[in-house]
Amino acid sequence: MSASYAVAPGMYLQEWIEEASVTQQEAADRLGLSRKTVNGIIKGTQPVSQETAIKLERVTSIPRDAWLRFEAKYREDLARLEDEKNLASSASIIPAELASFMRAHGITDATRRNPGKLVSDFLAMAGFGSVEAYESGAANMLSSVATLKESGKQVDHASMMAWIALGKQAESAMVDGLVAYEPDALRASLTELRARAAATDPDTLRDIARILSRSGVILQFVEAPAKFPLHGVTRWTADGNPVIQLTGRRKKDGYIIWTLFHELGHILNDDNTGMTVNFIEGRGARAPKNDAEKRANAFAKETLLGPGGLAPYHGLSDSSSIKAAAQARGACPGVVVNLMHRNHTLDYKWCNDLLVDMDIPFVG
């Protein structure tokens, strides 16, 4: 924890003067310095040079390297406190939910009472040296992040950058030994992935992560700040491996399995390797108009449900019938219910018992 004050080396000199029962003038005479210089050292306005440190060692018996450490720490703390003072004016970039999230994860101990330190700790986590660098970097990285128009919520850039930064930190341990990304290998594993996702249990997501890793794909779940309106993103490592980073929100299998296969659709079918974003949609959400989103949805639907899509479930409205129909086709009942809800072919109040809570293997 960083102190909210800076201790000048002169404090130790003042203690020696008091213990030796001498005046500042007498101390100056012994040191061979002017009284003005000694007074400046005590007040912190006069730096302790290497030459002065040698003289202080001879007179006080405090080693010269100690005096130089005191001086370096004092100047470092002054610079830090001045920086935090300047950063305090930018505290509005950090919403309350993100500040709480950072404290809960040990990223900071700062509150709104010391806003400069809060901003400083955020910049350190996100990997930027200044607010200006962060704003420029966020604008470039998050150019694909648009307003969540369905619910009127805005994707907060600071929360997004913090969440991605946590994912990248965890990613560093996951890339060791990871094979190069192979699209053909990923396509070949889709049948196995679909089968493993059809019947969810506590090991489902860990097993899916292992299957994906064989084709060079990283799946990770990173806890997000409160009110974060995303299911997840797909991004790419510097070595060209795709990373599916999910929040694990709405822990039900119908949402998580659908999101995962939606992101796989982006990986396999999009031409670019930029970052794609999967919003949490409200009940009144409109179908996505972006062509890439439409392709990803079509891929996920066909892969998880088969060519017939939701047609085999038309007219079904009770849990036992939907579950039996899904199991007969090797589909996850929770995914079927999720899609029927989204397509308004099943009332949102019905069959929620088929949406099963998943054990989320959060990293970190």
Kindly tell me if the per-residue pLDDT of 175 is higher than 90: no
CA dihedral angle for residue 76, residue 166, residue 362, residue 189, rounded to 10 degrees: -150
Question: Is the C-alpha dihedral spanning 221, 223, 229, 235 positive or negative?
Answer: negative
**Alpha-carbon gap, residue 15 to 291, rounded angstroms:** 72
pLDDT-derived band of residue 148, with 50, 70 and 90 as boundaries? very low
Which is more confident, 77 or 227? 77
pLDDT-derived band of residue 270, with 50, 70 and 90 as boundaries? confident
Q: What is the pLDDT of residues 201-227, one digit of tens each?
A: 999 999 999 999 999 999 999 999 988
CB atoms within 10 A of CB 127: 14
DSSP state letter for 44: T
Residue 35: the pLDDT is 97
CB 149 within 8 A of CB 113: no
Residue 276: the pLDDT is 58
pLDDT-derived band of residue 107, with 50, 70 and 90 as boundaries? very high
Which is more confident, 322 or 155? 322
Residue 143: the pLDDT is 65
Residue 235: the pLDDT is 87
Kindly tell me if the per-residue pLDDT of 275 is higher than 70: no
Every domain of the chain and the residues it spans: 10-88, 94-141, 179-354
**Domain 10-88 bears CATH identifier 1.10.260.40:** yes
Kindly tell me if the per-residue pLDDT of 255 is higher than 60: yes
Q: What is the pLDDT of residues 79-102, one digit of tens each?
A: 999 999 999 999 999 999 999 999
Residue 88 sits at φ, ψ, to 5 deg, of: -55, -30
CB 158 within 8 A of CB 122: yes
Q: What is the pLDDT of residues 37-64, one digit of tens each?
A: 999 999 999 999 999 999 999 999 999 9
Element (H, E) at 233: strand 230-236
Kindly tell me if the per-residue pLDDT of 322 is higher than 80: yes
**Alpha-carbon gap, residue 122 to 217, rounded angstroms:** 29
Kindly tell me if the per-residue pLDDT of 149 is higher than 60: no
